[in-house]
A and B are shown apart, each in its own frame.
Chain A
C-alpha cells in the first residue's frame, strides 16, 4: 500500500526528516510515536503533499504510484487522507457543501457519476450518526468556532465520508474527552475491512487500547529509531523516551 524509502525533507533549510523507511501493507495499523519536534507532523504533511516542505531525497510509492509526484488533491482522490493535528477554520464554506464537493470530485476522478443530492444526504446522515455529530455542527461553516475536540471529531467524520484507503491521523486523540475518544476509535474500527490501512500518530497509549496497532514505531530526530509490536507503546508509556534517546546516542558514538 505505502512504501517509504529513505525519505528526507527540510523546511527553510532546516533538515527535519533524515531518512524515513516505512512499509505499510493493506489492512495494517501502524502507530508512530516520538517526542515533540521529532518530525511526525512533518512526515504526515509531506505524505499529504504540503508544498512548504522540500523533499530532499527518497521515494514514496502508494499502490504502485509515485506519491511525491502527485498533487495534494490527486493523493486524496487516490485514497490518502490526513486527519490534521490542527484543522483550519474556513469561514463561509459550509461543511455540507465542502463534503459534497470533495466526494463528487473524487468520484469524477475515479470515473463515477456524481452522487445524487438525496443519496448524499442519506449517506451523510449515517456517518453523522456514527460519529454522533450534531446537525448544528455540519450546518455551520467548516470548523468555524468548533471546539478543539469538535474539530478532531470532524476530521474523523470526514474520513468516514471519504472512505480513504490510507488514513494518517496526526494526534487525533489529543484534546478528546473519553467519550469522543471512543467515538473516534469506533469510526476507525468501523472503516477497517482488512484492506484499508492506518498510520496513527499519537503520544498516548490510551488510543491504542481502542485502535490496536500491528506495529509501533518511534520517530526521533527525523528517523524511525525503533519499531516493535503493540507492547512497545506500553513500554514507552511506562518508561518515556530517555532510554531510546540514550540508545540512539550510543549507536551514534560507536
Chain B
C-alpha cells in the first residue's frame, strides 16, 4: 500500500530535516494530506479517475541514477534544442546532463534545492503561495514529500534568450519508483520566458510521478509553457500546474499527452489583474488501456481578461479520456471573454470520452462560449480525399495529422514542433 510507504517516508524526512519555516510548512501539508487521504472516485473532481492501481501498489523514492538515462536524454527531441537544461531522474537532479547557457547572472535557473539556499527571500516569498494544499490532497502530498525540481527566477524586464527545459525521467529499471518534482517559476514584471516541461520513462517496473508547478507572472510578463508527456511503460502521473497572473500578462500553455498509463493533468489559471490573456491548448493521443484526464480551471477574477481553451483528443484501443473545463467568472470580472472547446475523435468502438464544460459566471457583462464534440472522422472529408485517388488509410492519416497539428503548432519552437509532428505521425 502506497500510504504506508509515504508515512514512513515522511517520518524519515522529519528525522533528518532542519527545523524552520520550511519544515513547518511541510508538516502542515502532510497533516492536510493525512486528513484528506488519496482522492477516490467519490470526490466530484475525481469521479472518473480511479487511483486504485496507484494506491494499492508500492512505489519507492530513490536517488540512485543509472547511466542509461544519458542515452534516453540524448535520443530525445528536446535535448537537440538550444536551451537551458535541468534534468531530473526520479525527482533528483542529474548534474552532468543539466546545462545552463543563460549568460545574464541576474536570471536564476537552478534546482529547487539550490534555490532554497541561494535565493531564500524570493523562495519564501513565492513557494506554496499559488498551488494551494487546502483540500488538494495531491498538492499536499507533493509539498510534504517533494523531491527536487526546477527553480527559475527572472527579474524585472529581462528576457530569457533560450527556453528552459525541465526534463524528467522516471527510471523504473529495478523497482517501482515514486517521484514528486516541484517546480517554482517566478517571472517578474515585463519579462519573457519559455518553459518546456517534458516527461519520459524507462524500465519494466511502474512509476508514479506527482508533480506540482507554480508559476508567478508579474505585470506585463509573457510566458510560453509547453508540457510534453510521453512516458512509455507502466507510468502514472498526477500533474498540477498553477499560473498566477498579474495585470497585462500573456500565458500560452500547450499540453501534449502522447503516452502514459494514467495521466491526470490539473491546469489552473488565476487572473489577478486586468487585461490578461490565457491560452490553454491540449492534445491527447491515447491507445491501449491508457487513461488521460485533463481538468482545467480558469479563474477570471478581474475585468477585461481573455481566455481561449482548445483541447483535442484522438482515442484508439480501449483508452479513456476525460475533459473537465471549469471557467469561473468572478463577480467583478466584467468584460470577460472566455472560449472553450473540446473535440474528440474516436478511432475505436472501445474507446471512451467523458467531457464536461463547467461555466460558473457571476458577472453579467461577459462573453463565454463552450462546446464539446465526440465523433469519428468526417465522412465527407474522407470521401473527398479518396475521390482524388488517396487511399483510405492515407486519407485518414492526413485528416488526423491536420487535426492534431492544429494544437502542436501552438508551440512556438519550430524545431520542436517539427519533431513532435513526426512523433504524432508515428502514433497515428
CB 8 Å contact bits of A79-90 with B (1 = contact, 0 = none) = 001101001101
A4 within 8 A of B: no
Whether B387 and A49, one on each chain, are in contact in the complex, defined by CB atoms closer than 8 angstroms, is: yes
A71 within 8 A of B: yes
How many residues belonging to B are interface residues under a CB distance threshold of 8 Å? Answer: 23
Whether A93 and B390, one on each chain, are in contact in the complex, defined by CB atoms closer than 8 angstroms, is: no
Whether A102 and B389, one on each chain, are in contact in the complex, defined by CB atoms closer than 8 angstroms, is: yes
B36 within 8 A of A: no
Q: Which residue from chain B places its CB closest to the CB of A103 in the assembled complex?
A: B389
B347 within 8 A of A: no
B43 within 8 A of A: no
A65 within 8 A of B: no
Whether B381 and A92, one on each chain, are in contact in the complex, defined by CB atoms closer than 8 angstroms, is: no
Contact of A73 among B392, B399, B405, B406 (CB under 8 A): B392
B425 to nearest A CB, angstroms?
A: 13
Give the chain A neighbours of B395 by CB distance below 8 A.
73
Whether B388 and A90, one on each chain, are in contact in the complex, defined by CB atoms closer than 8 angstroms, is: no
B384 within 8 A of A: yes
CB-CB under 8 A for A90 and B387, given A71-B392, A73-B392, A101-B394: no
A159 to nearest B CB, angstroms?
A: 10
B386 within 8 A of A: yes
B330 to nearest A CB, angstroms?
A: 35
Whether B388 and A92, one on each chain, are in contact in the complex, defined by CB atoms closer than 8 angstroms, is: no
Contact of A106 among B378, B381, B389, B399 (CB under 8 A): B389
Give the chain A neighbours of B388 by CB distance below 8 A.
76, 81, 98, 102, 158, 162
B410 to nearest A CB, angstroms?
A: 13
A72 within 8 A of B: yes
CB-based A-B contact count at 8 angstroms: 74
CB 8 Å contact bits of A54-93 with B (1 = contact, 0 = none) = 0000000000000000011101110001101001101111
Whether B391 and A105, one on each chain, are in contact in the complex, defined by CB atoms closer than 8 angstroms, is: yes
A146 within 8 A of B: no
A48 within 8 A of B: yes
B417 within 8 A of A: no
Give the chain B neighbours of A105 by CB distance below 8 A.
389-391, 394
CB-CB under 8 A for A76 and B399, given A88-B380, A91-B406: no
Give the chain B neighbours of A72 by CB distance below 8 A.
383, 386-387
A125 within 8 A of B: no
Q: Which residue from chain B places its CB closest to the CB of A86 in the assembled complex?
A: B380
A123 within 8 A of B: no
CA distance A71 to B386 in the complex (A): 8
Q: Which residue from chain A places its CB closest to the CB of B383 in the assembled complex?
A: A50
* Most A-side CB within 10 Å, residue of B386, B398, B401: B386
Pick 11 A–B contacts, CB within 8 A, sort by A: A50-B383, A71-B391, A73-B390, A76-B386, A76-B388, A76-B389, A84-B384, A88-B381, A92-B402, A92-B403, A93-B385
Chain B residues at the A interface, C-beta cutoff of 8 Å: 378-381, 383-392, 394-395, 398-399, 401-403, 405-406
Counting from the closest, the 3 A-B pairs by CB-CB distance are A92-B402, A76-B389, A72-B386
Using A48-B383, A92-B405 as known contacts, list a sample of 13 further A-B pairs with CB atoms less than 8 Å apart, ordered by residue number in A.
Answer: A71-B392, A72-B387, A73-B391, A77-B389, A84-B384, A88-B380, A92-B406, A93-B385, A93-B398, A93-B399, A98-B390, A101-B390, A105-B391
